[in-house]
Amino acid sequence: MAGAYRGPDDERSDPEDVQRRAERTEAEGRSDVLTGEELLYARVGGQTIAYRTAGRGEPLVLLHGFLCDSRCWRGQLTGLADRFHVVAWDAPGAGASSDPAETFTITDWARSLAGFLDELGIARAHLLGLSWGGMLAQEFFRLHPARVDHLVLADTYAGWKGSLPEAAVEQRRARCYRDASRPAQDVVAEWVPKDFFLSASPELAEEMAAVVADFHPVGFRLMARSLADTDTTPMLETIDRPTLLLWGEGDTRSPLSVAKQMHAAVRGSELRVIPGAGHVSNMEKPEDFNRLVLEFLLDSQRDPAG
Cβ-count burial 166-193 (b if 16+ within 10 Å, e if not): eeebeebbeebeebbeeeeeebbeebbb
Q: Are 243 and 266 in contact (CB under 8 A)?
A: yes
Q: What is 38-299's CATH topology?
A: Rossmann fold (3.40.50)
Domain ranges of the chain: 1-33, 38-299
Q: Residue 8's pLDDT is what?
A: 36
- Beta-carbon contacts of 286 under 8 Å, excluding residues fewer than 6 positions away, are 75, 76, 79
Q: In terms of DSSP bridges, do strands 58-63 and 84-89 run parallel, antiparallel, or are they unpaired?
A: parallel
Sign (positive/negative) of CA torsion 120, 90, 86, 10? positive
Q: Are 231 and 162 in contact (CB under 8 A)?
A: yes
| Order of all β-strands in the sheet with 84-89 | 4-5, 40-44, 47-54, 84-89, 58-63, 125-130, 148-154, 243-248, 270-274
Neighbours of 20 (CB within 10 A): 11
Neighbours of 24 (CB within 10 A): 11
Q: Residue 34's pLDDT is what?
A: 58
| Strand segments (E) across the chain | 4-5, 40-44, 47-54, 58-63, 84-89, 125-130, 148-154, 243-248, 270-274
**Distance between CA 147 and CA 281 in Å, rounded?**
26
Sign (positive/negative) of CA torsion 264, 265, 270, 271? negative
pTM for the model = 0.89
Cα 288 to chain centroid, rounded: 18
Per-residue pLDDT of the chain (306 residues; tens, 9 = 90+): 444 544 433 333 344 443 443 444 344 433 344 568 899 999 999 999 999 999 999 999 999 999 999 999 999 999 999 999 999 999 999 999 999 999 999 999 999 999 999 999 999 999 999 999 999 999 999 999 999 999 999 999 999 999 999 999 999 999 999 999 999 999 999 999 999 999 999 999 999 999 999 999 999 999 999 999 999 999 999 999 999 999 999 999 999 999 999 999 999 999 999 999 999 999 999 999 999 999 999 986 444 444
Q: Are 285 and 277 in contact (CB under 8 A)?
A: yes
SS3 content of the chain, % helix, strand, coil (to 5): 45, 15, 40
Sign (positive/negative) of CA torsion 78, 79, 84, 86? negative
